[in-house]
Structure 1
């Protein structure tokens, strides 16, 4: 019990402390102090551009009225650097969005309160004061007084690049004279790098990295002023210019600009199989500048696939955390960066699938949903492997069109009606001069509210009728074609339909005499109707009459 009370008391005290801190926040300033040690620790690991991530350096919460000189004593205690050997620099955001040490604090500024100083350093209303602590070390590596800085002295920061190891690290800083030349400090730089004093080295200035990397060679024979170098600038250097001979395949980024370009654009992409969209399949390090071809090539390589054009990629929706509905078209985007962008967000996920045929070929094809039909079976059995087929357009249980074999695929639509494929019966292939091919549809009558409603259902079909044939003869052929049991068939009624009105037929009627008129609009306006109850199990019919139900797959036997 005591334990619990103790804990509750502690939590309460913490709460009070936080509340107090919040209430007094305006009385304090946060001072973030970056040192050489931070630069060495971060550059080449956490960061590559600029000098430091200020969120990872030592920060102090200081009362605003405290004089800066008093604060220096706190720094002396924290870092073991006597007050007289500390020199602090203010940081400044440059127009090109880089953030660099700009100038040392003056003695007058150091005598001010921390609050006043913060206002000097920050035009933006910000509770933080960011500083760089410059400490000069003597030969025995103990702090000594910082060197005098005149207008002519420039503080430069140096990073060393090793193309063999693909490694960038911070090696220190130097004051140079603006009238001096880089050639005068080469020995010093070699010493900082641990190279032979006369090693040939190439120098580059890291200018900016947003939105693009800008890193240019420095002419060793020009003065620092002529090269427009100033306080806080960064010089990257490496062993002599890499010649084509040295640059065997194993060196991917022979110089500083190509390495910084690579670092700036590298992106680890998580690839997921489209049929398992929740789990990463593999990750690849890529460049945001990769072209469409580069990306699919790498994926194909990873999957051991010879033909990269069989890879189809789908982008990620950052909001729904799912694949986007539309895949990326073949060479439909320029670069990897375009594949990863979703509105104003950037994702690092792509979905892939391996197609049976190359994507450009697939895009040239049109997908049509076709239902195969057989008069009596669910499973389609062709009479012989080269059986002749036809394609029909069926809508609400009526046949509206038979596509001629030369119909262009782009004109065929499966959005609103069902496309049906069927074998052409032998009897239809040899029609006599007086034979007619008629439409036969199933129907029921619905007498709701004293109005007769004709409802078509089931699969419509064509039938050949011969001149002088009676309904009895035709009924026999229909019964045989549809394989209807006798007792069931006895209940069926037969009617001739013209423009939606039924005219019931007697067994002795000559059916062909009804189908003489040629002036009706469209063949489906005249048909032979089979009236009977609809015993078929309910199936999802024409595509758009119910888009999201699935029929059982058709098996085709040759």
Structure 2
């Protein structure tokens, strides 16, 4: 039984609401709620209805109100559970469900439930939305009553809803009610009245719990999965998807030659097609990966407008040269004119620019129409702010503003819901009420000479909504996929129908209407409740172009190669699904054969994790039904290996305590199933699979049956085990530096180790014995890291050898007569006439085994500072025990460069870019380089098995005497910045840095090209200029070093005549770009100063015209400068805390949360 005890709405004030101070009368506060109810009688059903059925926030249409009273008598004699009489409401039967003595509580429990007698006759999808109130009142005095209110979506599964804790039993019987002298239940009787209001479920999801909800079935559309905090991306993608013309244009981008997950156009095509055909919510992981996003970006809420612009720009780039080249500008781009028009003379300066979206103010503006008026309102330039109209008209009064020349077919409007609050010094969300219409006429905002032959009427297509505050919010969208259809709410993976009221009214923001908050009492009534959800982006489509923009998109419009690829992937997923479903019927079998063992060049008999499709040494894999017998399995193996089944015997593989896997004993009875064999004989493994070794008999009898050396059945069927043991042989070839499987042999345990020599020599084809001067060294491979020398005179029994053990052997040159078998030359020991031994060659098998245990494939990439044409990436297999110098030697050999001139860098785990340089130290080896400090936080941030290399112009020893200074060179004012890494002697000065930089950047030196200024900046602010004799070691690591040619006019200027210049956007705290020093001239009007600034910065034309100039002081707002202002009065001084600010757009703008918004 599902219950609901919530009978009044409690709302917490938001951060944006102002605290309200109110004088409170305690008695009045206590009596507010009682005064109204005390004057009402429970028999006045209409009056009571106003109390128990208050207006709902959802404002659904009321279909029927019904009041039904049940007089309950002999309360104490009632059973545990009682039902009231059935009554009709909304065409369905209802009744009161009563637990007189509580539903497992010490209070009476009362519910409303549907009154269907036969639950099986209720349709599966039946539902009815009901608001109801339950009132308990005294049968003699109707002024004494108690009530609860609720609303619920009744279904076949949720047949009742109400209040488990309706009223305490002691209050009902033992205490006078409201000081009346009578209990509520008097003479064991009481009335219970049900007020039932059946409301219309217009969308089909009113008060839905969304258990087992199917978006595709209910709406025909599917949602997008949220990766963490990607709801803002999901709402934008759905908006673009349902702009059908945009979807078609994206489909026209040629991607057949680049079906890569790094191609954002291809991944967007995949996403759109999946949204079009899928029955389930679609993931966006592929798309965000193609953007170059890592986990940090996925869990940050990025700037939606920035993302929208960059995504559309990227698609426009990919459409160039295709059939869809002009589709996006035609669909999404309009034109706006910026002008300054003189009032008294016929002179106007204007420019027309393209726009892709419009940002509109919200604060203090009631609706969209007024915001458009605010956008195009004119500013009068008069008085001290007159406009310079050229030499002909001089300074004139003028009007400055913008006006639209045309709007796009699809208009994106970004509402400024997030603004910087100077008082709180942070970004804040604006929840002001801001209305927008379903139909919008944009004619009033067009220039007089704009083309108006076609109406500029727009229909609302989408409302993108933000719910919550700046730091903890959620995004979703209301979209209208069809011209005359419904709006739908796209909330991540859930899609539901939406009413016009939900789409418009609920997303205007502002306060909730007081009429919807009648249940609030006392202080609650005096505190306004702000809606937390509000529109932040609107999408309108020109009414006359609706058919073109919302043109149907068919499956055929999708690129055929994409359909084929996704169909193949869907078929593969379906096959995997069926495989998972049938997995319980199968038992995987992994089989080692003589062939796979011979191809295995590493430790143990095989690598059970290897893939047979990629590695010929991998064990054979059989997906076999559990009921398959061992005999049938042998037949499968025999067929695959072209052998007679009679000659094959399977050995069960077991896990030894030393974590190796070896054959233990043969499976003699082939009648059981593989499942029975696995359960009876196999030991626990990390994976669910039967592991076996397939032995092939060397001899057969006259009937073709195998003759086995041991574990042979006699005539009576008894298994005979003799003293022969099964050994596997491996050969280490020191010349070729290889370890290879040779095969297996059976040897008596009483034989000595030296008795194996002729057997091995014969198997290897070396003859009956080894040539004079050679001997055979042998080891037992106990486990990969434990290789023990076998003594020649020991018996196999004494050496503790058993079935499945591995013997590794190696031919060695006998060093002197009488040398014992197994005594080897020490590593690196060579005759004087031989060439020196290489450190990466191994004289004996034991050393080679050590290499196998510590080997690692390492990828080497050239550092971005290296010329890509000079060096390529490569992969080396190396031991983690090699030293830094040995690593340099091996890489130098690969590159063909001096190993002393190579520097290595670890790689960042998340970005893959180079981290800091690796220090050359005696204690360093490859293992500590790749895994610093074992598994610390630093290790987690380092990409394993990857290093960057840089080929230096000097040795590392010489490099240690240098300091690396990153110098940014300004070659064309402030418009072009190039960064160079400059090495300079640690004992040098800035003048040495300049000389080294000139050589590195390949520019003219100071004698030919002019003097170079070097200065430091910090957080986009000028820090200090560095004189030529300034020590290099004193340059701060936390600052950026800037170098530029000193303009001729500044060469001999007085230092007191300079002002520092910064770049900022709107707010002086939002600095960006590279600051610089600028020479002021006494008495110069700013109109002339601007010309010199244009030359100094290198910013030309329209970009320079957009810059606003201001004087910036600490803790003060910028004071913007007029053309006739003079910054440096004659005889004046420039204050130290004053800087000149250039207010213009930050082209490297970051998102609200500070992370860079980028798409690869």
TM class by smaller structure: 0.5 to 0.7
Give the aligned partner of residue 1077 of structure 2.
Answer: 459
Q: How far did 1:59 drift?
A: 4.4
- SS for the counterpart of 1:367 is strand
| 1:237-276 mapped onto 2 (5 Å cutoff) | 237-240=809-812, 243=815, 244-245=830-831, 252-267=841-856, 269-275=858-864
Residues 214 and 356 from structure 1, CA distance in 2 versus in 1: closer, same or farther, beyond 3 angstroms?
same
- SS for the counterpart of 1:96 is coil
Cα deviation digits, residues 361-400 of structure 1 (max 9, x gap): 5455151648899xxxx99999979x99997778899998
- SS for the counterpart of 1:157 is strand
Q: How far did 1:293 drift?
A: 1.6
Query: Which residue of 154, 179, 182 corresponds with 2:725?
Result: 154
Contact (CA 8 Å) 1:270, 1:281: kept in 2 or not?
A: no
Q: How far did 1:305 drift?
A: 3.4
Could you list the runs of 5+ residues in structure 1 that have no partner in the other structure?
A: 1-11, 430-436, 445-456, 464-470, 473-481, 483-499, 516-522, 541-547, 549-558
- SS for the counterpart of 1:39 is helix
Q: Is the aligned partner of 1:136 residue 2:697?
A: yes
Residues 392 and 97 from structure 1, CA distance in 2 versus in 1: closer, same or farther, beyond 3 angstroms?
same
Give the aligned partner of residue 330 of structure 1.
Answer: 919
Contact (CA 8 Å) 2:1080, 2:1128: kept in 1 or not?
A: no
Q: Is the aligned partner of 1:218 residue 2:780?
A: no
Give, in whole Å, the separation in 2 of the partners of 1:207 and 1:60: 29
Residues 152 and 28 from structure 1, CA distance in 2 versus in 1: closer, same or farther, beyond 3 angstroms?
same
Contact (CA 8 Å) 1:398, 1:524: kept in 2 or not?
A: no
TM-score w.r.t. the length of structure 1 is: 0.61
Q: How far did 1:115 drift?
A: 1.7
Residues 155 and 368 from structure 1, CA distance in 2 versus in 1: closer, same or farther, beyond 3 angstroms?
closer
| 1:85-484 mapped onto 2 (5 Å cutoff) | 85-107=647-669, 110-120=670-680, 121-124=682-685, 127-138=688-699, 144-149=706-711, 150=721, 152-199=723-770, 200-209=775-784, 213-240=785-812, 243=815, 244-245=830-831, 252-267=841-856, 269-275=858-864, 281=872, 283=874, 285-289=876-880, 290-306=882-898, 308-317=899-908, 319-320=910-911, 323-331=912-920, 334-340=924-930, 343=940, 348-359=945-956, 361-362=958-959, 364-367=962-965, 369=967, 409-413=1032-1036, 415-416=1038-1039, 439-442=1056-1059, 459=1077
Give, in whole Å, the separation in 2 of the partners of 1:102 and 1:416: 68
Contact (CA 8 Å) 1:90, 1:131: kept in 2 or not?
A: yes
Give, in whole Å, the separation in 1 of the partners of 2:800 and 2:747: 13
Cα deviation digits, residues 412-458 of structure 1 (max 9, x gap): 327458678999x9xx99xxxxxxx87233499xxxxxxxxxxxx96
Residues 272 and 365 from structure 1, CA distance in 2 versus in 1: closer, same or farther, beyond 3 angstroms?
same
Query: Which residue of 603, 622, 626 corresponds with 1:49?
Result: 603
Residues 388 and 354 from structure 1, CA distance in 2 versus in 1: closer, same or farther, beyond 3 angstroms?
same
Give, in whole Å, the separation in 2 of the partners of 1:127 and 1:400: 66
Q: Is the aligned partner of 1:36 residue 2:594?
A: yes
Residues 247 and 254 from structure 1, CA distance in 2 versus in 1: closer, same or farther, beyond 3 angstroms?
farther
Give, in whole Å, the separation in 2 of the partners of 1:327 and 1:278: 24
- SS for the counterpart of 1:198 is coil
Contact (CA 8 Å) 1:136, 1:144: kept in 2 or not?
A: yes
Q: How far did 1:91 drift?
A: 0.5
Residues 416 and 319 from structure 1, CA distance in 2 versus in 1: closer, same or farther, beyond 3 angstroms?
closer
Residues 239 and 248 from structure 1, CA distance in 2 versus in 1: closer, same or farther, beyond 3 angstroms?
farther
Cα deviation digits, residues 320-349 of structure 1 (max 9, x gap): 4xx434242331682334455674997554
Q: How far did 1:202 drift?
A: 1.0
Give, in whole Å, the separation in 2 of the partners of 1:74 and 1:137: 20
Residues 324 and 214 from structure 1, CA distance in 2 versus in 1: closer, same or farther, beyond 3 angstroms?
farther
Residues 334 and 173 from structure 1, CA distance in 2 versus in 1: closer, same or farther, beyond 3 angstroms?
same
- SS for the counterpart of 1:31 is strand
Q: How far did 1:184 drift?
A: 2.2
- SS for the counterpart of 2:949 is strand
- SS for the counterpart of 1:313 is strand
Give the aligned CA root-mean-square deviation in angstroms: 5.8
Give the aligned partner of residue 81 of structure 1.
Answer: 644
Give the aligned partner of residue 555 of structure 1.
Answer: none
Q: How far did 1:232 drift?
A: 0.9
User: Larger relative contact order (C-alpha < 8 A, sep ≥ 6)?
Assistant: 1
- SS for the counterpart of 1:159 is strand
TM-score w.r.t. the length of structure 2 is: 0.32
Q: How far did 1:319 drift?
A: 4.7
- SS for the counterpart of 1:48 is coil
Q: How far did 1:122 drift?
A: 4.0
Contact (CA 8 Å) 1:90, 1:130: kept in 2 or not?
A: yes
Higher mean C-alpha displacement, 24-33 vs 176-185: 24-33
Give, in whole Å, the separation in 2 of the partners of 1:398 and 1:315: 32
| 1:518-557 mapped onto 2 (5 Å cutoff) | none
Contact (CA 8 Å) 1:366, 1:410: kept in 2 or not?
A: no
Could you list the runs of 5+ residues in structure 2 that have no partner in the other structure?
A: 1-569, 613-617, 712-720, 816-829, 932-938, 977-997, 1062-1074, 1084-1091, 1093-1115, 1117-1125, 1148-1155
Contact (CA 8 Å) 2:1013, 2:1044: kept in 1 or not?
A: yes
Q: How far did 1:99 drift?
A: 1.7
Cα deviation digits, residues 437-487 of structure 1 (max 9, x gap): 87233499xxxxxxxxxxxx9636799xxxxxxx99xxxxxxxxx9xxxxx
Cα deviation digits, residues 237-263 of structure 1 (max 9, x gap): 121356534975589332212333344
- SS for the counterpart of 1:116 is helix
Give, in whole Å, the separation in 1 of the partners of 2:1017 and 2:658: 66
Give, in whole Å, the separation in 1 of the partners of 2:1006 and 2:590: 86
Q: How far did 1:273 drift?
A: 2.6
Contact (CA 8 Å) 1:439, 1:524: kept in 2 or not?
A: no
Residues 117 and 274 from structure 1, CA distance in 2 versus in 1: closer, same or farther, beyond 3 angstroms?
same
Q: How far did 1:281 drift?
A: 1.0
Give, in whole Å, the separation in 1 of the partners of 2:736 and 2:1015: 67
Residues 226 and 313 from structure 1, CA distance in 2 versus in 1: closer, same or farther, beyond 3 angstroms?
same
Contact (CA 8 Å) 1:399, 1:439: kept in 2 or not?
A: no
Residues 344 and 538 from structure 1, CA distance in 2 versus in 1: closer, same or farther, beyond 3 angstroms?
closer
Contact (CA 8 Å) 2:914, 2:948: kept in 1 or not?
A: no
Give, in whole Å, the separation in 1 of the partners of 2:883 and 2:701: 54
Residues 254 and 525 from structure 1, CA distance in 2 versus in 1: closer, same or farther, beyond 3 angstroms?
closer
Contact (CA 8 Å) 2:1022, 2:1076: kept in 1 or not?
A: no
- SS for the counterpart of 2:756 is helix
Give, in whole Å, the separation in 2 of the partners of 1:344 and 1:401: 35
Cα deviation digits, residues 89-141 of structure 1 (max 9, x gap): 1101233332211222354xx44332211112143485532211223313999
